[in-house]
Amino acid sequence: MKLLAIRLDNVRRFTDPVEITGIGTGLNVLSAPNESGKSTIVDALHALFFKGYRSWDKEVASLAPHSGGDPQVAVEIEINDNRFKVEKRWSKTRKGEAKVFRGGHLIKQADDAETWLAEVLKAPKEGGPAGLLWVRQGLTSLDEGESAHSARRDLLSSVTGEVEAMTGGRRMDATRDRCRRELDRYLTSSGKARVGGPLKSTEDEVSALDLRRDGLAAKAASLWAELDRRRNLRRELASLEDGEQDSGRMTRLAEAEAAHDEASRHAEALERAIEAERSKSLEMERAQERLATIEAALAEERSAGAALELAKADAAIKDERHRQAEGVFIEARRSFDKAFSSAETASEILRRALRAQTCAATAERRAELTLRLAQAEGLRTELEKAVADAKVGLTDKVLRQLEDRVGEVRVLRKAREIEAVALTMKYAVGRKDGVALNGKPMPNGNRVAIPDGATLEIDGIGHLTVHPGAQSAADTLAVAEKALADALEASGYETMETARAAAHLRLEAEARYRSAEHQLNGAAPHGIEALRESIARLPEPVETEPELPSAREAQEAEVAAKHALAEATSTLEKARCAFQIAQTAAARVAAAAESAAERVSRALSAVSGLQDAEAEKTRLMNELLVHRAALAEAIGQRQAILAVAPDLEAAKAALQRARSVITRAEQDRQRICVDLGKLDTAIEMHAAEAVEEELADVEIRLKAARRRLDEIMFEVSVLQIVDEALESARTAARDRYVEPVLRELTPLIRLLWPEAELRFDAEKVLPTALVRAGTEEDFDILSGGTKEQIALLVRLAFARMLAKAGNPAPVILDDAIVYTDDDRIERIFDALTRQAQDLQIIVFSCRQRAFRDLGGRGLAIIGQESVLDAA
Amino acid sequence: MLAGDVFDTETPSDAVWRHALAAMSSVQSLQWWILPGNHDSLAAEALWGRVRAHAPANVHLLDAPEPIEIAPRVVVLPAPVPRRFPGRDLTEWMPLCATPEDYLRIGLAHGGVLTFGSEDGGAEIIPPDRAKSARLDYLALGDWHGLKQFGDRTFYSGTPERDRFKHGGPGTCLAVTLLAPGAVPEVNTIQTGQFDWQEAPLPLTPAQDAVAALEMLLPAEGKARRDMLLRIRATGWLGLPARMALTRAAELAKPEFWHFEFDDADLATECSLEDLDGIALNGALRLAAEGLHQRSEDAATPPTDRVIAAAALRRLYNYVQGETQ
């Protein structure tokens, strides 16, 4: 379908007819400011295509101008090179008109016209297109309601085939529903057995029956066990009560008793035989003993005599040896004593000799030490004197101070003399005196200084007193002299000379002290006391014996003496040992001889106690022979009895067993009777419960329930497989279904967002998300501009599909890109321009400047006059 | 003569044995000779004690392997089973048991025969020529639930009411007429059972009209169906629609029978391209159907999964067909 012209009459502000003509293939732009009626045209177009002529709903009513009257809209369209004019008029009275003209001829009107129009717009059964594609002002949502939805689906169907065929459609839905419904009977949505469903109840039944079966089987088993036990007990009881066995038991008892009696008898006989044998044996033993006694006494007598003889001989020999040993011992003792005393003497001599030697050695030493001591003591006295002297004299230091003062005084005095008034007396010739100074005559021609003034006695004339002037030196000198005098006084010496002498003495004393000390050190290096002690330590001198041998000789003599003593000691000890041994031996032999003598006397007395021992012996020997024969006989008898005697113990045991068998049989019988009574009761009760019948029944039912469960499980598996197959098939089909839309859309989308992709909901045939740089953004959260652009592009894609399917439909954009920025608008324009080569795109926009760049064919709303003109 | 297993358990409930005795007592014209079998061996002392105590005059328990003259010059040689698994041939004594020349000798025993074994698979075996070796005029055997004959004079009569498909037909007993010692007995089968157990094979090919083949197997409507326990074992191959039709027919017939089993475990489905078209020509349903078909025929899939896939395909077909019809 292609739109060629639009005509509005009595629509909103256009109370007079207006027209838009010259709409062509490609891009058509109606760019006019707001309030110029663009939206009115779009709404009118929409009403024409989608509102029935009888309609007077809100949308239609809004088309009527304020002044009232019926709004009327007409379009010229071209379908497959045929031109049609469609005209609609709506009335408040709902008596509008719809007319379709072809080539000026009315071909359809009223409902027929509506049907025709619907056919044009709606997809016919086999691949028909949706007639128009709208993009409304500020439209950002994609879903425009059911009709648009089905239009999209129809469009897709026309391209990719019947939608139902593709997705399975209603049949698919119904099939899946049925499968799900059936599955739901068995399973919950989480895949568990549904409570109350056949699967769960059969499972429960199986487990309940299983439990019941186990319980019954156990019961039946215990019943069988009871029956078995009763059977065994009955058999046992029967055999116990069997008369034959009973009498057998009694016979066996009688036999055992007889055997026991017999055995007892034999046992007694045996006892007697043993007794006889024992007495015989005793008699024989007694005879043997007597015989042995006699024989022993006789033998003892003989051997004691012999022993006595031997002992006596031995004693004689040992006595002799004893005596000899004693002699040797005494002799040895004597030599020892001698050797001992000579050794003692030699030792004493040696000691004395040594002492003499020592005394000689110390005498020299003592003399030397005593001399040194005398020297040392002298030196010490000297030393002490020197010390005392050294303490008296002036010390060097004081002397030097004194000397200094003396020097000073001398210098001062000299200076005074020099500077003082001096007198020189030049006696007249011939005269040698006459003038005395201070009592002394003035020398001739000598200058005499008088610092302190002087009184000159001039003979005869009087006293001439010279007064000293004020002399500076005089005071200083006086001071110095005073200091000197003080110093001298302090030192304790009157004059300098004495002081000097004292100082000299002191130095000398110190020299002496050093010398004495040195010498003393030589004489007594450790002090005089040490020296004295050394002397005291020396042994006291003793009287020397004139005949003493030298120490060396005395030593040799002592060694020899000691040697001799050692030998003597050894000899003595040997002798002592031999003596002692001999002594002991002699004593022992003597004792032996004594006891031998005793033994002889004992033997003799024993023999003498017997009357004719030999005769008795012979008699006893004969008697013994008799006893031996008797004993042999007794033994033979015992063995004979033993050989034929039955085993009493065995007989006893047999008897006991025979008795216990009978007792036991009786006890068993009683016990079995009791047990049987109990069992009878138990079995009676259990048997009446008919456990086995019930068990058989339960087993059959269990088997049936198991089979049913298997069948149900199979059924569930089948349903699950069907469901799974349907689900995956549908997913695959959907992907295939939306594929053509995406093919058209992708290049458009890429114009705005390179690398971007759209996700499509196959059911609604609408995009659900935009994928950019790997991130999926839900369509709802995209910006208004982006949504708007996508909405536009989606419609362009559909339009392309329509065009390709041979049914081009106009795309009407009513201020569709209000949110879009300039940059994107450029690209949208590119897209539009590109699409417009195959499509009819009609753009209504108030953005005159922006849309100026869009190009395309400009459209204009032409007023009534022009319309009339054109008409 | 009841050749053993009159009672199924050693401790039947009181109702069971009392009803049995009452039933026997009610037919006074008959003398009942009861032999203990392996299920109700002599070990069931309680049972036999009660039976002895309550037995009416025309009911006799044969509880000892001793000849008994049940009628003038008619001797029965019974071989009662002493316990459930006796482990030996209980008829051994029969050849050694002498009876006067002109007496009829009737053997009565319970257990398997050498050639085919016992119902319970026990080791104890009765030689099939026992009738000859013991000079018996007739040997009545019990244990086998069906009717079975060995030679002229050895018979298992079968149970009065069958209890499994193994032994088909209604329960029976035998009326045996012994004319004279040594003469071949005259044996007639008398139907006693109410229920008819039948198992029928149904071999099928895709070309066949499966429903017609099934209907051929079914008896005429009415009482015959009501008292019948029928198991159909379908084998071979069928196309999808035929299979569906067959299943429906079986479902339809089922309620008319006392018991009806349609076992199609061994019936394979041949799924043709047309059958798949029957589900859908194209689109998702077709995809699903092809997927299931492929899985059911894929040799790599485990057999159980293949069976499930095949069933799933049939189900899908069923759904879609149900939808279209």
* DSSP conformation letters of A428-468: PTT----EEETTEEPPBS-EEE-TT-EEEEETTTEEEEEPP
Give the helix ranges, DSSP H, for A98-196. 110-121, 146-160, 163-167, 169-186
Minimum distance, in Å, between the CA of residue B100 and any CA atom of chain A: 33
Q: Kindly list the distances between the CA atom of residue A445 and the CA atoms of A68, A187, A422, A440, B293, in Å, as whole numbers in the listed order.
A: 186, 176, 12, 15, 184
Mean pLDDT of the residues in chain A: 79
Mean pLDDT of the residues in chain B: 87
DSSP B92: T
- CATH class, domain A133-186+702-808, is mainly alpha
Split at pLDDT 50, 70, 90, the class of B189 is very high
| DSSP-based three-state secondary structure for B108 | strand
Name the percent of chain B lying above pLDDT 90: 43
- CATH class, domain A1-132+849-871, is alpha beta
Residues 14 to 33 of B: which have CB under 8 A from any A CB? Answer: 14, 16
Report yes or no: B51 at the A interface, CB cutoff 8 Å: no
Determine the residue of chain B that is closest to A170 in CA distance.
B323
The tens digit of pLDDT for each residue in B41-93 reads 888 888 898 899 999 999 999 999 999 999 999 999 999 998 888 888 889 89
Query: Are B281 and A179 in contact (CB < 8 Å)?
Result: no
Chain A positions touching B11 (Cβ under 8 A) are 223, 227, 686-687, 690-692
What is the Cα–Cα distance from A94 to A117, expressed in whole angstroms? Answer: 19
Minimum distance, in Å, between the CA of residue A870 and any CA atom of chain B: 55
Amino acid letter for position B54: H
| Residue from B174, B240, B151, B229 nearest B196 by CA | B229
Cβ(B310)–Cβ(A717) below 8 Å:
no
Instruction: Write down the pLDDT at residue A138.
Output: 43
Q: Kindly list the distances between the CA atom of residue B249 and the CA atoms of B203, B208, B244, B272, in Å, as whole numbers in the listed order.
A: 16, 15, 9, 22
Question: Out of A174, A684, A692, whose CB is closest to B10?
Answer: A692
- Give the orientation angle of helix A110-121 with respect to helix A38-50, to 10 degrees: 100
Cα-based angle A511, A514, A519 (whole degrees, multiple of 5) = 125
Question: Out of B291, B295, B312, whose CB is closest to A729?
Answer: B291
DSSP A130: P
HSE at residue A117, side-chain half, CA atoms within 13 A, is: 29
What is the Cα–Cα distance from A791 to A787, expressed in whole angstroms? Answer: 6
Report yes or no: B287 at the A interface, CB cutoff 8 Å: yes
Task: Report which of residues B222 and A595 the model is more confident about.
Answer: A595
Query: Are A722 and B292 in contact (CB < 8 Å)?
Result: yes
Sequence-distant (≥ 6) Cβ neighbours of residue A239 within 8 angstroms: A245
Query: Are B316 and A164 in contact (CB < 8 Å)?
Result: no
Report yes or no: A719 at the B interface, CB cutoff 8 Å: yes
Tell me: pLDDT of A867 over 80.
Answer: no
The tens digit of pLDDT for each residue in B128-165 reads 888 899 999 999 999 989 998 988 999 999 999 998 89
Chain A positions touching B289 (Cβ under 8 A) are 725
Sequence-distant (≥ 6) Cβ neighbours of residue A92 within 8 angstroms: A56, A61, A64, A70
In this structure, are strands B104-110 and B138-142 parallel, antiparallel, or unpaired?
Answer: parallel
Determine the residue of chain B that is closest to A730 in CA distance.
B284
Cβ(A425)–Cβ(A444) below 8 Å:
yes
Chain A positions touching B14 (Cβ under 8 A) are 688, 690
Split at pLDDT 50, 70, 90, the class of A129 is very low
Residue B104: Cβ within 10 Å count: 23
Tell me: pLDDT of A194 over 90.
Answer: no
The tens digit of pLDDT for each residue in A780-839 reads 777 777 777 777 777 777 777 777 766 677 777 766 666 667 677 777 777 777 766 767
The tens digit of pLDDT for each residue in A211-259 reads 999 998 998 888 888 888 888 888 888 887 777 777 888 888 888 888 8
Determine the residue of chain B that is closest to A166 in CA distance.
B283
Residues 178 to 207 of A: which have CB under 8 A from any B CB? Answer: 178-179
Tell me: pLDDT of A866 over 60.
Answer: no
Cβ(B146)–Cβ(B6) below 8 Å:
no
What is the Cα–Cα distance from A574 to B259, expressed in whole angstroms? Answer: 140
Tell me: pLDDT of A609 over 80.
Answer: no
Question: Out of A686, A689, A718, whose CB is closest to B315?
Answer: A718
Cβ(B248)–Cβ(B242) below 8 Å:
no
CATH architecture of B14-191: 4-Layer Sandwich (3.60)
Instruction: Write down the pLDDT at residue A483.
Output: 83
| Range of weakest confidence among A27-36, A799-808, B193-202 | A799-808
Minimum distance, in Å, between the CA of residue B9 and any CA atom of chain A: 6
Report yes or no: B315 at the A interface, CB cutoff 8 Å: yes
Virtual CA dihedral for A62, A67, A68, A70, nearest 10 degrees? Answer: -80
Instruction: Write down the pLDDT at residue B157.
Output: 92
Residues 145 to 164 of A: which have CB under 8 A from any B CB? Answer: 161-162, 164
| DSSP-based three-state secondary structure for B160 | coil
Chain B positions touching A178 (Cβ under 8 A) are 319, 322-323
Cβ(A485)–Cβ(A478) below 8 Å:
no
Minimum distance, in Å, between the CA of residue A782 and any CA atom of chain B: 33
Instruction: Write down the pLDDT at residue B22.
Output: 94
What is the Cα–Cα distance from B34 to A106, expressed in whole angstroms? Answer: 107
A622, two tokens: 């004969």
| Residue from B42, B38, B44 nearest B87 by CA | B38
| DSSP-based three-state secondary structure for A778 | strand
Instruction: Write down the pLDDT at residue A167.
Output: 58
Task: Report which of residues B106 and A669 the model is more confident about.
Answer: B106
Cα-based angle A859, A861, A863 (whole degrees, multiple of 5) = 145
Report yes or no: B325 at the A interface, CB cutoff 8 Å: no
Query: Are B320 and A689 in contact (CB < 8 Å)?
Result: no
Q: Residue for token digits 């062509």?
A: A24
Tell me: pLDDT of A763 over 80.
Answer: no
The interface predicted TM-score (ipTM) is 0.76
Output the pTM of the full model: 0.47
Question: Out of A234, A693, A719, whose CB is closest to B9?
Answer: A693
Minimum distance, in Å, between the CA of residue A693 and any CA atom of chain B: 6
Q: Kindly list the distances between the CA atom of residue B234 and the CA atoms of A667, A782, B220, B250, B264, in Å, as whole numbers in the listed order.
A: 69, 63, 20, 11, 5
Tell me: pLDDT of A475 over 80.
Answer: no
Virtual CA dihedral for A18, A20, A22, A26, nearest 10 degrees? Answer: 180
Split at pLDDT 50, 70, 90, the class of B120 is low
Report yes or no: A712 at the B interface, CB cutoff 8 Å: no
Mean pLDDT over A511-520 rounds to: 85
Instruction: Write down the pLDDT at residue B114.
Output: 67
The tens digit of pLDDT for each residue in B270-298 reads 877 777 777 777 677 788 888 888 888 88
Virtual CA dihedral for B20, B26, B29, B33, nearest 10 degrees? Answer: 20
| Residue from B230, B308, B225 nearest B265 by CA | B308
Query: Are A725 and B283 in contact (CB < 8 Å)?
Result: no
Sequence-distant (≥ 6) Cβ neighbours of residue A73 within 8 angstroms: A6, A7, A8, A9, A11, A44, A45, A47, A48, A63, A87, A88, A89
Question: Out of B46, B287, B308, whose CB is closest to A717?
Answer: B308
Mean pLDDT over A98-105 rounds to: 84
Task: Report which of residues A164 and A564 the model is more confident about.
Answer: A564
What is the Cα–Cα distance from A826 to A522, expressed in whole angstroms? Answer: 138
| Residue from B298, B289, B293 nearest B310 by CA | B293
Cβ(A813)–Cβ(A796) below 8 Å:
no
* N- to C-terminal Cα separation, chain B: 61
How far does CA B307 lie from the centroid of its chain?
Answer: 30
Instruction: Write down the pLDDT at residue B136.
Output: 92
Instruction: Write down the pLDDT at residue A133.
Output: 58
The tens digit of pLDDT for each residue in A293-317 reads 888 888 888 888 888 888 888 888 8
Query: Are A693 and B16 in contact (CB < 8 Å)?
Result: yes
Q: Domain residues of chain B, as ranges? A: 14-191, 196-324
Query: Are A725 and B292 in contact (CB < 8 Å)?
Result: yes
Tell me: pLDDT of A578 over 80.
Answer: yes
Name the percent of chain A lying above pLDDT 90: 3
**Which helix H or strand E contains A209, and what residues bound it?**
helix A198-241
Report yes or no: A282 at the B interface, CB cutoff 8 Å: no
Mean pLDDT over B235-241 rounds to: 86
Cβ(A240)–Cβ(A669) below 8 Å:
yes
Q: Is the four-CA dihedral B152, B154, B160, B161 of positive or negative sign? A: negative
| DSSP-based three-state secondary structure for B325 | coil
Sequence-distant (≥ 6) Cβ neighbours of residue A167 within 8 angstroms: A730, A733, A734, A737, A762, B283, B284
Task: Report which of residues A492 and B7 the model is more confident about.
Answer: B7
Minimum distance, in Å, between the CA of residue A785 and any CA atom of chain B: 37
Mutate to test the interface with B, among A676, A722, A734, A763 (most CBs of B within 10 A): A722
How far does CA A96 lie from the centroid of its chain?
Answer: 95
Mean pLDDT over A468-483 rounds to: 73
Report yes or no: A166 at the B interface, CB cutoff 8 Å: yes
Mean pLDDT over A577-593 rounds to: 87
Give the helix ranges, DSSP H, for A645-756. 648-688, 691-752
Instruction: Write down the pLDDT at residue A130.
Output: 41
Question: Out of B45, B312, B323, whose CB is closest to A231?
Answer: B45
Query: Are B280 and A690 in contact (CB < 8 Å)?
Result: no
What is the Cα–Cα distance from A29 to A814, expressed in whole angstroms? Answer: 10
Report yes or no: A682 at the B interface, CB cutoff 8 Å: no
Instruction: Write down the pLDDT at residue B140.
Output: 94
Residues of chain A with CATH 3.40.50.300: 1-132+849-871
Report yes or no: B279 at the A interface, CB cutoff 8 Å: no
Minimum distance, in Å, between the CA of residue B316 and any CA atom of chain A: 7
Report yes or no: B310 at the A interface, CB cutoff 8 Å: no
Determine the residue of chain A that is closest to B83 in CA distance.
A228
HSE at residue B31, side-chain half, CA atoms within 13 A, is: 7
| Residue from A85, A97, A93, A70 nearest A15 by CA | A70
What is the Cα–Cα distance from B137 to B149, expressed in whole angstroms? Answer: 14
Query: Are A167 and B323 in contact (CB < 8 Å)?
Result: no
| Residue from B290, B323, B297, B155 nearest B237 by CA | B297
Tell me: pLDDT of A611 over 60.
Answer: yes
Question: Out of A166, A228, A718, whose CB is closest to B312?
Answer: A718
The highest-confidence range among A403-417, A587-601, A678-692, by mean pLDDT, is A587-601
Task: Report which of residues A760 and A208 the model is more confident about.
Answer: A208
Amino acid letter for position A314: D
What is the Cα–Cα distance from B20 to B101, expressed in whole angstroms? Answer: 36
Cβ(A285)–Cβ(A663) below 8 Å:
no
Tell me: pLDDT of A150 over 70.
Answer: no
Cβ(A705)–Cβ(A209) below 8 Å:
yes
Query: Are B280 and A171 in contact (CB < 8 Å)?
Result: yes
Residue B22: Cβ within 10 Å count: 11
Mean pLDDT over A511-516 rounds to: 86
**A636-643 contacts: CB < 8 A, separation 24 or more?**
A637/A273, A637/A276, A637/A277, A638/A270, A638/A273, A638/A274, A638/A276, A638/A277, A641/A266, A641/A269, A641/A270, A641/A273, A642/A270, A642/A273
Residues of chain A with CATH 1.20.1050: 133-186+702-808
Report yes or no: B283 at the A interface, CB cutoff 8 Å: yes
What is the Cα–Cα distance from A743 to A265, expressed in whole angstroms? Answer: 131
